[in-house]
Chains A and B, each alone.
Chain A
Amino acid sequence: MTAAIQVNAVEKSFGNVRIIRDLNLSVAKGERHAIIGPNGAGKSTTFNLISGHIKPTSGEIRLNGEVTSGLRPFEINRRGLSRSFQVTNVFARMTVWENVRCAVLWATGHRYAFWKNVDDLPEVKQRTAEILDDIHLSHRRDVPAGLLTYAEQRELEIGITIAGGASVIMLDEPTAGMSHAETERAVALIRRLTEGRTLVIVEHDMSVVFGLADRISVLVYGHIIASGTPEEIRGNPKVKEAYLGEEVD
């Protein structure tokens, strides 16, 4: 079976600094895959590479078997990959409803249409309402996104990410800055909304990672030092040394 995401020997340098060194990663279809690692390990850069936000210096990235390295973000998005951002990244002056609806438009085939009334598209309306329901923001539908609370904005961020119906969802620290109760809510939300899809998640909260992920990859200095099930990662001495700072006996 072809992997949902296949990263082969990817390198990324900014000037003389090699941020990503010989990155190899394989995420199977339907898998929940977490990427962990210390600060500055290159987790967000990895996300940016896979989603097309930045281009790799060398190497190859495949999405569902098709080479996507070198493509623009919207081209990769149209091929079924959608991502969220670590820093909340919504359309601040538009309402919650409009935020989600914009994310639905391309996927429902309306593209750049300037001859259709956007309020008269039943499937768009229905799907937007469903997503709003899913992220528990229906009661805030007419509030400008910029006026939402932080936790609500994070939920909206997830809503925008899943709205297009992408088969591969990438979430960059979705629970960062949330309280314990909010985190629990968000994890339940993520678990439910990514059912049947491939999920790649960057997360610092280990309880989230070990509770959610089928497989975990550990990134240190731009290189994946271990990949495996949560149990394998827990017992891996290299991970303990690099990530938890413990000496190996």
Chain B
Amino acid sequence: MTNAPTPSIAAAKQESGGALGFYGVWLLAAVALVVLPLIFSSGGSLTSFSLIGIAIIFALSYNILLGQTGLLSFGHAVQYGLGGFLAVHAMNAVASHNWPIPLPVIPLVGGIGGLAFALLVGWVMTKRAGTVFAMISLGIGELVASSSLILRSVFGGESGITTDRTSLMPMFGWTFGPQIQVYYLIAFWVLVSAIAMYALTRTPLGRICNAVRDNPERVEFIGYDPHVVRYLAYMFAGFFAGIAGGLTAINFEIANSAYLGATQSGFVLFSAFIGGTAYFFGPIIGAILVTYLQLGLTSVTSVWQLYFGIIFIGIVMFAPGGIAGILMKHRPLIRAGTLGTVIPSYLVAAIPTLAFALGIILTIETVARFSGGDPINLLGIPFVASAPTTWAAAAVLLVGGFLVARITWRGVAEAWDRAATVARDRGYLA
């Protein structure tokens, strides 16, 4: 029995979990949201920030299901999209009746839309977790997405329904015409939603959600109905997804069937998973990265989805905890002061790994542009897709990079083992 006391773990945890640190993080986030557009003030970056903000709310809402409650949904865009549609209809109604409702309230209407739908279908959907839930969510997603094309009066068919966000009454002199004002509206909702969703994880319900994720059978024997727990989680996830949808409707001044579809559902699954579902902040990282990649890659390559797929497969295979998982793995090493012994091995491994990645890129682009297209620009070096020298370079990078990378990663594993052993001895790793 390894009953050796490890009081330092408890001690370290308590000192970092102080109230000051907790409020500090949110204050820092608020400051960052305010300052960001002042530093990067171009129209393009404002648009990007707005999209990233919405993606953060959406991914966090998805993680209430996947990371917190263990529900894998393939149709989370339904609540998001319906929230968007309800927001658009609400904006048009408010504008035509001249109701004294300002625009910043509209995302709440979207949230209610998402919540209402979750309330309606959730009880049946959450009866079972696992494959049954995943399949039903896929089915409901397809059902709603296809209905949106049929029910033209509500969803506006393929063109969708448009609105004008400036037609609502101004607030504090803001008309929300300029993108910067929309950005701050989104930033406000990002902060409020993120704090609310974090607070949810710290409630009795939030804790029981985790218990249902870990072991639904056992939950039944401590007084809880896992079905009710899943249903409540599903409604909360629907509510916040609806807020994200409402913000999208404000941002683009339109809602269409694409909001509800499988692509959108896949996008949020990607974001949450790549960021890491085991930690609250994981989906935030994922949403930032995936949105940024999506915006950045589309202008560089025509086969950007292929890269997405490769990144996703890579994460699933080599880092199932996502980026947050990778980061948090280093925490005990930082505390034990042994991170420094691992870094050199990382740097060594980075070179062949990068070469391997370049080999993959060169191969993909060669295939994609073989029958015409611009030359491939890799690190400033132009490659012609039809030239045998390009193929040779790709092959060398791919094979050579792979073989050398394999050896260097073994070195990383050894350095890790040594550092982890020291961390364990010092009581920072269970």
Contact surface of A with B, Cβ cutoff 8 Å: 51, 72-74, 77-78, 82-83, 85, 89-94, 98, 101-103, 105-107, 110-119, 121, 139-144, 147, 149, 151-152, 160-161, 163-164, 182
Q: Are B204 and A73 in contact (CB under 8 A)?
A: no
Q: Are B220 and A73 in contact (CB under 8 A)?
A: yes
Q: Are B211 and A91 in contact (CB under 8 A)?
A: yes
Question: What would 23 A/B residue contacts be, using CB atoms closer than 8 Å?
Answer: A74-B219, A85-B218, A90-B218, A91-B210, A93-B214, A94-B214, A102-B208, A105-B207, A105-B222, A106-B223, A106-B224, A107-B223, A114-B203, A118-B202, A118-B207, A139-B5, A142-B9, A142-B10, A142-B13, A143-B6, A144-B430, A160-B222, A164-B222
User: Which parts of B198-254 form the interface with A (CB within 8 Å)?
Assistant: 199-200, 202-208, 210-211, 213-215, 217-225, 228-229, 232, 236
In Å, the complex CA distance between A73 and B220 comes to: 6
In Å, the complex CA distance between A144 and B215 comes to: 14
Q: How far is the CB of B212 from chain A (nearest CB, A)?
A: 9
Q: Select one of B205, B208, B221, B224 contacting A83, CB under 8 A.
A: B221
Q: Total A-B pairs in contact (CB under 8 Å)?
A: 117
B2 adjacent to chain A (CB < 8 Å): yes
Residues of B within 8 A of A89 (CB): 215, 217-218
Q: Which 3 A-B pairs have the closest CB atoms?
A: A106-B223, A91-B214, A73-B220
Residue among B13, B213, B219, B236 with most chain A CB within 10 A? B219
Q: Are B221 and A51 in contact (CB under 8 A)?
A: yes
In Å, the complex CA distance between A105 and B219 comes to: 11
Instruction: Return the CB mask of B1-33 against A: 1 if under 8 Å, else 0.
Output: 111011101100100000000000000000000
Q: A89-B215, A149-B1 are in contact. Are A113 and B204 (CB under 8 A)?
A: yes
Residues of B within 8 A of A119 (CB): 202
Q: Are A118 and B221 in contact (CB under 8 A)?
A: no
Interface size on B, residues (CB 8 A): 38
In Å, the complex CA distance between A164 and B219 comes to: 12
Q: Are B232 and A112 in contact (CB under 8 A)?
A: yes
In Å, the complex CA distance between A135 and B229 comes to: 28
In Å, the complex CA distance between A94 and B278 comes to: 11
Contact surface of B with A, Cβ cutoff 8 Å: 1-3, 5-7, 9-10, 13, 199-200, 202-208, 210-211, 213-215, 217-225, 228-229, 232, 236, 278, 430
Q: Are A114 and B206 in contact (CB under 8 A)?
A: yes
Q: Are B224 and A113 in contact (CB under 8 A)?
A: no
In Å, the complex CA distance between A43 and B13 comes to: 43
In Å, the complex CA distance between A115 and B199 comes to: 9
Q: How far is the CB of B410 from chain A (nearest CB, A)?
A: 26
In Å, the complex CA distance between A169 and B6 comes to: 31
Q: Are B220 and A112 in contact (CB under 8 A)?
A: no
In Å, the complex CA distance between A102 and B303 comes to: 48
Q: Are A74 and B200 in contact (CB under 8 A)?
A: no
Q: Select one of A90, A112, A139, A152 contacting B204, CB under 8 A.
A: A112
In Å, the complex CA distance between A83 and B223 comes to: 11
Q: Are B202 and A111 in contact (CB under 8 A)?
A: no
Q: Are B218 and A77 in contact (CB under 8 A)?
A: no
Residues of A within 8 A of B222 (CB): 74, 77, 82, 102-103, 105-106, 160, 163-164
